[in-house]
Amino acid sequence: MPLERSNVKVGLRDFLSRFALIFLPAALLLTMIIAAYTGAEGRYSLEITRAREAALVEIAKAHITQDFSEVLTTLRVLAATPAMRHYLARPGGAERADLENLLRVVASESQRYDQIRFIDARGMETIRINYNDGQPAVVPPAQLQDKSGRYFFRDTIKLGQGEIYVSPLDLNIEHGKIEQPFKPMIRFGMPVFDKAGRKRGVLLLNYFGQDVLDHFLGVIQGGEQRSAMLLNREGYWLSAPSHEDAWGFMLGRPDRTFAHAYPVAWQTISSTEKGVLETDAGLFVFSTVHPLMPELHSSTGSPLANAPSRHEIASSEYYWKVVTFVSHETLRGRSFFNQASGRLMLLVVYLLLASGIAIISYTSLGRRQAIRWLKEKERSLREITGTMSDGLLVMDDGGKIIFANKAVTDMLGYEQDEMLGQDMHDLMHVNADGTQDPRSDCRMLKVLETGATYRSLEELFRHKDGSLLPVSVSASVLIKQSGRPGIVVAFHDITETKHFERELERRAQTDVLTGLNNRRHLYELAEQEWHRAKRYGKPLAVLMLDVDHFKRTNDTYGHYAGDAVLRKLSEVCMHTLREIDIIGRFGGEEFVILMPETVAVHALEAAERLRLALAAAEVPIDSGEKLRFTVSIGVTCMSVEDANIDALLKRADLAMYQAKNAGRNQVSLIAAAN
């Protein structure tokens, strides 16, 4: 029967046959494509998960190591401060108050120490600063405790000069009981010796262990569906997915261990430095943190209030296990076709294929949709590390950059396209003076040869604009599925840490009241100027001045008025003298001024000009009055007979008293050593 073009009618059997002839092969082909893609996507997703989890673990390790380094720096600085030396020489009165104030300022500024203590050689607290929820305060003598029985005191007091003890991470104990709520703590201790070399006690920092745990969780968690765990060397949880599992060794719960929960995984994790382990439960990525440098000491500690440590442990035995766990269910859930949107898409595709099989053009439309979806999926996979705050670089075995996350471009100023394919060492790894070591000496690239993780608390990376960025670095070998090794470099910006270290140094050199150089730093500068003048045959003048009748000012108007006078004196000196002149508070109301390359006549002129400026200065006080004050100034110049800077300072002191004896408010010169 002939068919008309405008009214084609097809029988049901013919339609079904035609439908089956086209649909079945097309559906089979589509099913095979989806199955192949799902398998490839699963393998790719697993590889990305391995790399991402390994990178996060290394970043967490770097954070922990950096935290320890900052605490050790603070401990060493505090033990060497003049305030500590003065207190050991005279452990009472102003010296004690100065040390207490210094420790209180450190506690307030750092906000990381629950307690800062000085414990004498018998184990009795003599100075203790409590953090008090952000309001550090000195503990009254009546509330100080005997710590002679605690393991951390016993293990620290027996150390030698310059040695440091680091306790295990455990819970704080006060008055014989575990403090509630739990307060994780690490104690950093160092024996302190006086000038005669006698051991006088222990300086102890109680570092908030929760800071370490918070930094760890902040890096590892990141909103992903993973379990982040930190374990001690015995497999007890320090940070666990369930809070009830943590601190089993402190609470007498020997069954609350990782080994009890995951016995198969623990056999590998406990005996291996780092790795990736896939079990029936899921994917474990782990690494071992060794936060102690070789010269540090530690012990097993004790969960009992007054029990000693079981034994000492070497720094290599002080370690934690950083573990992340992603279940198989989570891994499968990351596959697009195992998500609700993916399954819905499958249903829609098959329905569209079935309903439009008679239309040949549908095949190309479906193919274009699949290609578009594949490209979007590929882009999304490349962005998996885009939200990390620390820099992450991946290099091939030739040192060429093949991946850089957004944090790298933010910190170094490069666009990603500018970095990919570039040699990492040549592009940005530099020394402090801007030079570069030979590429063959690059310690980060050498991990391909050694296979060992390289960690550095401070390296310098060059910004695109040429400036230098201080970073802490961890570099490890990455074994890819292709078998060709690469390098993963994780780094953290330590600019704020370096600023804190410089601020500590500045405070150690500055007089708190006036902002001028303190006596110790002034003496160091004076010795430098004396040696420079002697070496190059340059003149050097010294002025020593003293506020006239300063005691009368304090007695009449109070010490606050006296302090205001000293501040005004320092202000006038800074405005009157040259930039090259060095000013410092020598003690009390005495000040010393070093005038490089200045002969006697010019020194006298400068001294007279300064005397007149100070006599004209007004100091407002609380009562509304304006005080005036005068100074007596002694002037002298360096001579060939001077054996050292002390001779010059002594002569300037004699000249100052000569001015006082002549009636005060005068300038007096002693020109020669005789």
CA distance 566 to 514: 7
DSSP class of 459: E
CA distance 368 to 362: 10
Give the tokens for residue 481: 């599925």
The distance between the two most distant Cα atoms of the chain, rounded to a whole number of Å, is 141
The one-letter amino acid code at 627 reads L
Amino acid identity, position 476: S
DSSP secondary structure letter of residue 338: G
Angle at 408 between CA 403 and CA 413, to 5 degrees: 120
Query: 60, 214 in Cβ contact below 8 A?
Result: no
Q: How far is CA 216 from the centre of its chain?
A: 13
Looking at the chain, the number of H-run helices and the number of E-run strands are 21, 29
Nearest to 607 by CA among 644, 638, 581, 586: 581
Strand partners, 391: 491
Work out the number of other CB atoms within 10 angstroms of the CB of residue 344.
Answer: 10
- Residue found by looking up tokens 């295990």 in the block: 168
Contacts of 124 (CB under 8 A, 6+ apart): 144, 145, 146, 147, 148
Residue 6 token pair:
């405008």
> Which are the catalytic amino acids?
589
From CA 588, how far away is CA 586, in angstroms rounded?
7
Rounded Cα–Cα distance for residues 488 and 486 (Å): 7
Letter for the amino acid at 408? V
Contacts of 157 (CB under 8 A, 6+ apart): 121, 123, 191, 199, 201, 202
Evaluate whether 118 touches 127 at the Cβ level (below 8 Å): yes
The type of residue at 188 is: F
Please give the Cα distance from 149 to 173 (Å, whole number): 12
Q: Contact, 207 vs 217, CB < 8 A?
A: no
The encoded tokens of residue 50 equal 């391995």
Cα–Cα distance between 551 and 554 in angstroms, integer? 5
Give the C-alpha separation, 172 to 238, whole Å.
14
- Smallest Cα–Cα separation from 36: which of 326, 299, 374? 374
**Do residues 324 and 61 make contact, with C-beta atoms less than 8 angstroms apart?**
no
SS3 call for 539:
coil
DSSP 381: H
Count the alpha carbons within 13 Å of 263 in the hemisphere toward its beta carbon: 2
- What is the β-pairing status of strands 468-479 and 667-670? unpaired
